[in-house]
Each structure stands twice: as structure tokens, then as C-alpha cells.
Amino acid sequence: MSGPTLRNIGILAHVDAGKTTLTERLLHASGALRIPGSVDAGTACTDDLEVERRRGISVRAALASFEWRGHRFNLVDTPGHGDFAGEVERTLSVLDGAVLVVSAAEGVQAQTEVLWEALAALGLPTLFFLNKVDRVGADLPGVLGQIRRLLTPRAVPLQTLAGAGTDRLLLRDLSDPGDPEAAAGLFEALADLDEDLMEAYLEGRTLPPEELLRRAEPHARRGHLFPLLFGAALDGLGVEPLLDGLVRFLPPAGGDPEAPTSARAFKVVHDPALGRGVYVRVHRGTLRTRDALPLPGREEPGKVTRIRRAGAGRWEDVPALEAGDLGLVFGLGEARAGDALGDPEGLPGGVPLAEPLFSVRAVPPTPEDAPRLLAALRVLSDEDPHLGLVLDRERQEMHLRILGPLQVEILTALLSDRFGLAATFEKPATLYKETLQEAAEGYVEYTLPKPCWAVLRFLVEPGERGSGVVYRSRVSTDDVKLKYQREVERTLPAALEQGLLGWEVTDLRITLLEGEDHEVHSRPTDFAIATPMGIFDALQKGGTRLLEPVLRFALAAPEEAAGAVLGDLLRMRGTFDAPRVEEGVFRVEGTLPAEPCGDYAVRLGSLTGGRGRFSTRFAGYRDCPEEIRAEAPRRSVSPLDRARYILAARGAL
Ligand code: GDP
């Protein structure tokens, strides 16, 4: 028998599948909560925001902890809505495993597919929990078929259930005697993964269910096989077997507590009493109070002043957090969500972050409230770096970047609940990007007005969609010293923040072909000032074109609505694969340009009497049709306006 272990787990589900109810049940069953909260009564303790209560959705990750048979679990509540995709991804990256809840009555929904894709992309070990088996209309074989078809053929039930959709439910383990056929599905799935078993399977031998379960463990813990369990969270049915399943089929958190400390920040909060706190996962080493922790991009390390951990049912102060554990850390200064803390070596690969596609202007209730609003927005964008607060000083405007329309609603509620500010938001606008049309050279000779000396020649070429900006230098450090070349590279992101049309410039290959510094007159800032002029020279010669954000969508609706829906999709400039129809349900997948106000889910709902499902996921930027024109106002002087630009850059304007 191995000793007590720790697992960081998340529960994911489509809205209404029963995530909150199940969470409360898990905490309750393990003794961490005395009375299970009820979503319907508004007392669930993991929904920590007033706005969540009002909407009945979970939008912020909250941490709870419980023990089961001596093993400890950190339960991270993941937001379920696509508008918070960045937070979903950041949260998933700290987990050891997940439970994906699917309602046995409603089945796999488009949002379930999106969540599954995120789990699969990270290769996260996952258990399926088929909830609401008590509901009239619960269709176990049907939903299992959907899961296998739409999500993964490697989902395998580890139980049998009789009486689905009635109040005479009988849930049995595979190892319960009485149904020798039940383990056949597991045997078949294992045969695919295990040579030895394949032989036995083909020979028609049978193996005891307990042995099959034992052999399933390592495959499940590696995320190659996905155990499926049944239950009705509302009545607590299937909750204990699920808890046992978590211990058995999800891998424990690992990491050497003696190694140099590596941790990742995954969420920032502002506690009214304790100040700015950072949720972290320690991947290696041990994080202790009074530790000084290197922060990315900052000279000053963060000094840990206090560490809180989610204990069973309440928070507790601890002197240290060991590898594998999650906690809330105070004293880390400006650390932001997503930051690598300490030694970056010990961290698993980077987290792909969703991109905000829209920009929205925040308006204070009165002009006098502007400074307070700015301060509040600074706090919020600190908690969620995606918000990328931009202050347009010339027009005295505050803009935020958002992932979708629901986020505006959440921000409005947050500003009012936490800061007592009745701010409003203007209609969100699409954030376009731009890219180069044709390869061109850009040249800059910045030698006047003295004293300054920087000469650069760039080759700028269009890159593939989604390739971002790739830079390299072919200039020897004899011609341009390394410290100056570093300055060129460091300046590029800022130089590309706004192109000829005012949008971020992307998908470029930039090569520094030639350059010259001056023994006496050059300073690093000369190269920082020259770089945008050289790049803009190339942009102007090659021309730029607009790129628009596109979404990958999945849509399901009753067959009768197919004609109207396909018409809508074409009108919205959608492209899609051949639709599929099965059992009266019509499904189609494809891409759509992201429209800030196009909440198509609402229209689909009215078109299908609420039975349609629509979900989207960011899929990158693609060329915009010629007829669409959009420009964004410049926030700083254009490098093409050479004289004014130089004055502004030297701080003389
Ligand atoms: P969430 O949106 O995924 O967090 O789902 P909730 O936990 O809020 O549950 C949505 C609704 O389904 C609530 O009204 C629950 O009472 C109900 N519900 C949850 N689990 C079950 C179940 O096992 N059986 C039945 N019949 N209803 C359930």
C-alpha cells in the first residue's frame, strides 16, 4: 500500500450538467462540508461571486480541499464559459486530472466538446461522470455512444446501472458478482492498449474484473483510457465510487520537494484584508515564507510573506508549500496570472492562452470618477492579464480587451460589487490585426539631430497565418554591437503594436540585413528609436492588409432547423464541413468571423425553441475580405512622421 497522496483536480461540465451540485457532494461526502450547499437555494460555497449566484454560473476558479481515505485533494473550480477561456486554460495547466461531467439526460453538448478538446490538448487524465441518471429520459447507451463518437472511443464504463430514469436505480461495480458480461467492454478497450491482453482477448479467455480494473489503472493515469462512472449528484448516488475512482485512476501530484523552487501563478486575487494574493502551483521544490522568489521580467524578487492553503473546509496558514501543492501566496508584488515563479527549468511546457478578440471602452459614471475607475480597472487587469488595459491619453479613454460579450456583464457587476462603481461599457469592437502584403526592405539612418547614431536595414517578409513574428539577425557584432542588437529585438513588439492601419502587426519574418553603430555617438536608445522607423519603412513599401479573428464553431440543432441555420451561417460568412444528421439532430462544424455582438446562441435558441447548441473557440486570424475596412486611432506618433516621432521618442514633445 502506498502512503497518503495529493491530487489537484478540476471538475468540468457544460452549464447545468451538475458541476456545482457534484462539487458540493464531494466536499460533503468527504466530511469537509457538513451540509451540502444547494445551487438552487443559492448557498453553494464554491461560487464566490454575487454575479455567479445571480446567473447560476461559475466564472471564477475557487479552491477547495478535501480528504478521502487519507488522500488529499485540491479541487479547483474551473470556469465553464467560453468567455473565460484564458482562465480555463490557466486552471487546467495546474491540474493532475479532471472529471468531465456529462448529463445523462441532455448528453454531449457543443460546450462539452470544447472542454474535451482542451483536456485532450493537455493530455490530462480524465474520468467521465455521467450525471442525472435519475432523470426521466436519461439515456445511458445513447450518451455513451455520443461520448465515444464525439469525444473519445477510449471512454469505458466501470459500472453497470439498472433502472436509469426511474427511482429504482441500482448501481454496481464491475467487480460485483452477478453480471459477468459487464466487464467485456473494459476487456476490449484494454486489449487495444496492452499486447498481452490482446492475445487473451483474441483467444476468447476471460479475466476476473478486478484484474481488468487493476490493469486499467496505469493507462487511465497516463490519460490513455478514460473511466466512466454513473451517478446522480443531487441524491449523492455514485459519489463514493467517484471518490474511489479519483484515487485509483488519476495520478498523484509529483515533484521533488528538495529541488530548486519552481512555481506557476494561475490566478491573482485581491483580498480585502490581506491584499494582493497569488494562487500558485508549486511544481518543484518547497515554497517557504520569507523566500525571495525571482519574478519574470523584474529585477526585484518577490518576498513571500504569507502562505495559505485550502484545508478541509477552511483556509489555513502554513509555513511552506511542497512540490505538487496549490496555495494562495502573499507578498509576491506584481506577479501576474500565468507567470513562472522561481526557477523556470522545473515547469511543464507553456500554457496556450486564448486571445481576447474584442476591445471595449469603459465609461465612468461621471468624469470625476475617471481616476477611481482607472484604479479599479488596473486591479482587475492585474488579476486577469488578458484584459490588457489600454489608456488612450489623447482622448482620455480607457479600453479593455475582452474574450466575449458575457465578460462585459461580469465586469459591470465586479465594478459595482467590489468597487461601488456604476461604470458602463460601450459596444465592443473587433480587434483586427494587420500583416504585410509583399516582402520589402526597410532602411533607417538615424544620425541626426546629433547626438545619435543608428543605421539599420531590415528585410520584412509575410509569414504564414498564425506564425506570429519571427526575428533573426544576419549582422555581425563587429558592425552592430550585441547590446545594440538586443535593443533592436527588444523594441520590435512595441514597434509592431500598431501598424499602418493602427492594428497589431503579425505573421512576419524580420531579418536584420545590415547595420552600423558608432564607436562614440551610439547609445542603446538610438537603436530603440531607429527600429520602428526602419520597420515602418518596410511596411509602407510592402503595404499591409487586414486580418480578422475567426472562431471554430460546433452547432447542434433539431433537424427541422437545418435550412434556417445553414442560411444564417452563410450570411455570417461562415465556412463549414458537410453537416451530419443522426437521430433527428443536425450537427455542423466550421469557422466564422468573430462578431462582437453576434451572440448567435441566443438567435439559435429562439429558432429551435431552446433545443439548439452553439459553441465557439478561437481559431486564429485570417485574411479579411477586401470590402471590410477598419482603422484604429494611433495611440502614439507614427514613425512615418519622422520629425515629430523623433521629438516624441526623445521626450521633447
Ligand atoms: P452546473 O451548472 O453544472 O453547476 O449545474 P448545477 O449543479 O447548478 O445543476 C443544475 C441543475 O440540475 C440544478 O437544478 C440541480 O439541482 C440539477 N441537478 C444536478 N444534479 C442532478 C441529478 O443528479 N439529478 C437531477 N435530477 N438533477 C440534478
Report pLDDT digits (tens) over 361-390.
999 999 999 999 999 998 888 777 778 788
Which residue among 57, 234, 237 is best mutated to probe the pocket of ligand 1, counting the most ligand atoms within 8 A of its Cβ? 234
Which residue among 39, 57, 75, 99 is best mutated to probe the pocket of ligand 1, counting the most ligand atoms within 8 A of its Cβ? 39
pLDDT at 2: 62
Per residue, the 3-state secondary structure of 276-322, as one string, reads EEEEEEEEECEEECCCEECCCCCCCCEECCEEEEECECCEEEECEEE
| Interstrand relation of 97-103 and 126-131 (parallel, antiparallel or unpaired) | parallel
Q: Residue 597: helix, strand or coil by DSSP?
A: coil
Q: Where are the alpha helices (DSSP H) in 108-208?
A: 110-122, 140-146, 184-193, 195-202
CA–CA gap between residue 369 and residue 390 (Å, rounded)? 17
pLDDT at 40: 42
- State the distance from the centre of ligand 1 to the C-alpha of 403, rounded, in angstroms: 27
- State the distance from the centre of ligand 1 to the C-alpha of 21, rounded, in angstroms: 6
The pLDDT tens digits of the residues spanning 390-414 come to 887 777 889 988 877 777 887 888 8
- Is the C-beta atom of 19 inside 6 A of ligand 1? yes
pLDDT at 56: 39
Residue owning the nearest CA to atom 15 of ligand 1:
18
CA–CA gap between residue 224 and residue 222 (Å, rounded)? 6
Which residues are registered as beta bridge partners of 75? 9, 64
- Is the C-beta atom of 131 inside 6 A of ligand 1? yes
Contact 464, 516 (CB under 8 A): no
Counting beta carbons within 10 angstroms of the beta carbon of residue 399, is it exposed (0 to 12), middle (13 to 18) or buried (19 or more)?
buried
The pLDDT tens digits of the residues spanning 86-113 come to 667 778 888 999 999 999 998 988 778 8
- State the distance from the centre of ligand 1 to the C-alpha of 15, rounded, in angstroms: 9
Burial 479-503 (b: 16+ CB within 10 A, else e): ebbeebbebbeebbeebbbbbbbbb
The pLDDT tens digits of the residues spanning 144-193 come to 999 998 899 999 999 988 888 888 888 888 877 666 677 888 998 998 88
- Is the C-beta atom of 132 inside 6 A of ligand 1? yes
* Ligand 1 atom closest to the CA of 135, numbered from 1: 26
- Is the C-beta atom of 390 inside 6 A of ligand 1? no
- State the distance from the centre of ligand 1 to the C-alpha of 232, rounded, in angstroms: 9
For residue 82, give the amino acid letter: G
- State the distance from the centre of ligand 1 to the C-alpha of 407, rounded, in angstroms: 24
- State the distance from the centre of ligand 1 to the C-alpha of 131, rounded, in angstroms: 8
Dihedral pair phi/psi, residue 341, rounded to 5°: -115, 140
Counting beta carbons within 10 angstroms of the beta carbon of residue 161, is it exposed (0 to 12), middle (13 to 18) or buried (19 or more)?
buried
- Is the C-beta atom of 408 inside 6 A of ligand 1? no
- Is the C-beta atom of 15 inside 6 A of ligand 1? yes
| 10-residue averages of pLDDT along the chain (653 residues) | 83 88 83 49 42 41 80 82 62 92 90 82 93 93 91 92 87 76 85 86 86 94 96 94 96 91 86 82 94 78 89 81 93 82 74 69 93 91 78 82 78 87 90 95 93 95 90 94 93 94 95 94 94 97 94 86 91 90 86 74 79 76 90 90 92 72
